[in-house]
Amino acid sequence: MIAAKHALCLLSVTAVFSAGVQPAKAQPATAQTGSLVTTDSAVFVERVDRHNGRRLEPASMLARGDRVVTVVTWKRMRGTGGFMLTNPLPARLAYQRSASDMQEVSVDGGRTWGRLETMRVDGHAATPEDVTHVRWRIPASYAALGQGRIAYAGVVR
């Protein structure tokens, strides 16, 4: 089981994994242009029932097999140009997909990056379960908005 602590703001949920591992959390990004970007992440669990269909709820308790969505909210504090956000995935979360095609993944702890379909692990094609990190290249045109959200889905192992 995974317990989550709720903050008053929906986008300030911080999940804590039973093994003591912190959930995927975007790291503050500093671009080559001297930009400073702050981030916050929220973890939601997908619930499905025959009366209400599919819905996302703030994560309070998670179990193996639960589908989760992590929403990373970023805000540019200073700087111009594009930047990157990097998000390490906890070992207990198997990556599924991102809501943005600006994303790249790493299957080796963040040393190499690319599209999942181009990555290899031990001589075979990488699978979503092999992903250790996700990062997004935020282009200057999108960064000029000053803030944004990116989401990705995973399954609790």
Which pLDDT score is estimated for 6? 26
- Burial readout 69-108 (b: 16 or more C-beta within 10 A, e: otherwise): bbbbbbebeebeebbbbbbbbbebbbbeebebebbbbbbe
Residue 147 · residue 76 · CB < 8 Å? yes
Q: What's residue 34's pLDDT?
A: 60
CA 106 to chain centre: 13
What are the helix (H) ranges across the chain?
140-143
Locate 150 and state its tokens.
């990116």
Reported as a single tens digit per residue, the pLDDT across 19-75 is 223 344 444 444 444 668 999 999 999 988 888 888 999 998 889 999 999 999 999
- Looking at the predicted structure, is the pLDDT value of residue 13 above 80? no
**Mean pLDDT for the chain overall:** 79
Q: Is the pLDDT of residue 106 over 80?
A: yes
